[in-house]
A and B are shown apart, each in its own frame.
Chain A
Amino acid sequence: MSSELTLKKGHELRALLDGGEVSSVEVARAFLDRIDEIDSKINAFLTVTADLALEQAEAADKRIREGRVKPLTGIPVGLKDLLVTKGVRTTCASRILENFIPPYDGTVVAKLREAGAVFPGKLNMDEFAMGSSNENSAFGPVKNPWDLERVPGGSSGGSAASVAACEVPLALGSDTGGSIREPASFCGIVGVKPTYGRVSRYGLIAFASSLDQIGPMTRDVKDAALVLDAICGHDPKDSTSIMKEATDFAGALSGDIKGVRIGVPKEYFVEGLDPEIERAVKDAIAKLEELGAEVKEVSLPHTEYAVAVYYLLATAEASSNLARFDSVRYTTRVDGSDLIDTYKKTRAAGFGEEVKRRIMLGTYALSAGYYDAYYRRAQRVRTLIARDFAEAFKEVDVICSPTVASVAFKHGEKTSDPLEMYLSDIFTIPLNLAGLPGLSLPCGFSGEGMPIGLQMMAGPFREEVLLKTAYAFEEATDFSRVPGL
């Protein structure tokens, strides 16, 4: 029973729990056993909170008995380790926060607790969410469950790998430039990046505040809709969160996409795109057309500038966001000859190379004499990129593209050249700059058996049409599979 349970998706577990066929404690135990059994292979978990999970599971069983059930009551949800969790070590995969135990819950974590979800642990990631391969964790890289030689993608690599490997049915990631969609694509799962402002950032340890969003990483679209319904909503503690009425994304998954207008951006099908991926994505678009969608070409002319804009804006914000790690109030301190020296030694020892590289770049972009040439110019090009999408979404409802130009690459393949690594995010970054919702879902496999991701993007707050379209595709195809670990 135990191994079978871990193959279940969130909504399937919901049905089993509600039908009294299993208890939350049994579910929690099954997944904890699975983690115990295989996590040493993939290194997805930084902290396993078995006691907390079982305690929450017992409380969930009580709620189920009392009929106070919410969609996620009793279901395990893995948390990317940049989600501040009261009383649970939260490291951001950084040495500098190695022993940080937050005295408060972030809003999303609080909402999940409130909903009766079960927390089996905190998931590995690129340090401070900076990376596309999960090779930048201070606590070791995450392995791709489809091929342990390969990266799971990043920065939410632990979230993606844990879901793909059935260590958890549901996980949360965060997406600043593709950090949910890229690992979802590499690990063959569904990952949704909501509209900026849809989900509260309170308690999300910031990388780039104007781009970060928390989102679900799940084995199918229905689960993604369930999780999104549970975590989105206006939060008075986050000034950038948006007032919107309550959502029912799960209830809107009709399977009918007749008349949905699909855009295919010509700038995303260019040289350098892996032919296997191009074929899989084009086949997927043909499938959507077959299901009743209308397909047309669109143009996003400033796509080629997105990576440059992103690496200026995101690093500038990060250089400021990471200034608080100064060893005064928290973080490990390395004593120097005086206060300034202590700051420098602490930060030099506490941050990994990629984090330091980005702090350096961002500090430079903001520094006197360069602000207009770099930061402000990047903000202005950001305006053009957002306009591209606004124009395109006048014509279509959903834009489809590859999520990444390649399948998961091998460990160490791109670590020597930071710029090459940055360029691998070219298809996911523009959406963050425009603040729009998008997702990645499986649409095929490479000849070597690695999953391929289809990216869908929509206009502001149009998650519903996005999820509906993805659901219809998922129902009509069979790419949602479990790796044979």
Chain B
Amino acid sequence: MKISKEEVEHVASLARLEFSPAEIETFASQLSSILEYVEKLGELDLAGVEPTAHVHEIVNAFRDDVVTPGLTNEEALMNAPYPEDGCYRVAKVIEGE
């Protein structure tokens, strides 16, 4: 499985990462060799094998609908790079996602 530079750029954009052209080259080659290695999973016959999302067969963990103390506004903002008016300030979002 060869991964192209364009694919690396697309994935970088999905992951909100930015790379120099040289880094893109390096990643394209490293990711290609890793993906080539994982191709070996294709050797296995997986008919009837269910995926494992949780390793133990446990289900249903709940909490009751009861208010518990949280953080103060000061605590919530103590690590914020740009706190303002009790909020986190960010650059304006352009409509759309």
Contact = CB atoms under 8 A, between A and B. Distances in A.
Interface stretch (A129-137, A173-181, A379-387, A450-458): A379-387
A197 B53 contact: no
Given A308-B37, A344-B16, A360-B11, A384 B31 contact: no
Interface in B48-83: 49-56, 58, 61, 63, 71, 75-76, 78-82
A308 B40 contact: yes
B34 A419 contact: yes
A364 B31 contact: yes
Contacts of A359: 15, 17
B38 A242 contact: no
Contact of A242 (B35, B41, B58): B58
A240 interface: yes
Contact of B52 (A103, A367, A386, A460): A386
A383 B52 contact: yes
A347 B17 contact: yes
A357 B19 contact: no
B9 to A, nearest CB: 11
A182 B33 CA distance: 24
Given A308-B37, A339-B90, A104 B71 contact: yes
Nearest to B58: A242
Nearest to B82: A333
Nearest to A302: B44
B50 to A, nearest CB: 6
Contacts of A422: 34
A170 to B, nearest CB: 27
A381 B11 contact: no
Contacts of A100: 79
A332 B11 CA distance: 23
Interface in A321-337: 323, 326-333, 335
Contacts of A363: 11, 14-15
A364 B11 contact: yes
A308 B43 CA distance: 12
Given A377-B46, A418-B30, A196 B56 contact: yes
Contact of A348 (B17, B33, B44, B52): B17
Given A196-B55, A333-B82, A377-B46, A361 B16 contact: no
Contact of A434 (B19, B30, B55, B76): B55
B40 to A, nearest CB: 6
Contacts of B76: 103, 329
B41 A309 contact: yes
Contacts of B35: 361, 364
B18 interface: yes
A197 B82 CA distance: 37
Given A311-B34, A374-B38, A378-B41, A367 B14 contact: yes
Contacts of B3: 364
Given A305-B40, A339-B90, A383 B49 contact: yes
A94 to B, nearest CB: 14
A319 interface: yes
Interface in A195-221: 196-197, 210
A326 to B, nearest CB: 7
A299 to B, nearest CB: 16
B50 A383 contact: yes
A435 B55 CA distance: 6
Interface of B: 3, 7-8, 11-12, 14-19, 27, 30-31, 33-35, 37-38, 40-42, 44, 46, 49-56, 58, 61, 63, 71, 75-76, 78-82, 88, 90-94
Given A330-B81, A348-B17, A351-B17, 5 more contacts: A329-B88, A360-B8, A384-B46, A419-B30, A419-B37
6 smallest beta-carbon distances between A and B, as pairs: A435-B55, A379-B51, A330-B79, A239-B61, A333-B81, A103-B75
Interface of A: 99-101, 103-104, 196-197, 210, 236, 239-240, 242, 302, 304-305, 307-309, 311-312, 319, 323, 326-333, 335, 338-340, 342-345, 347-348, 351, 356-357, 359-361, 363-364, 367, 374, 376-384, 386, 418-419, 422, 433-435, 460
18 contacts: A210-B54, A329-B76, A329-B79, A339-B93, A339-B94, A343-B16, A344-B16, A356-B17, A357-B30, A363-B15, A376-B51, A379-B52, A380-B51, A383-B52, A384-B44, A419-B34, A434-B55, A435-B55
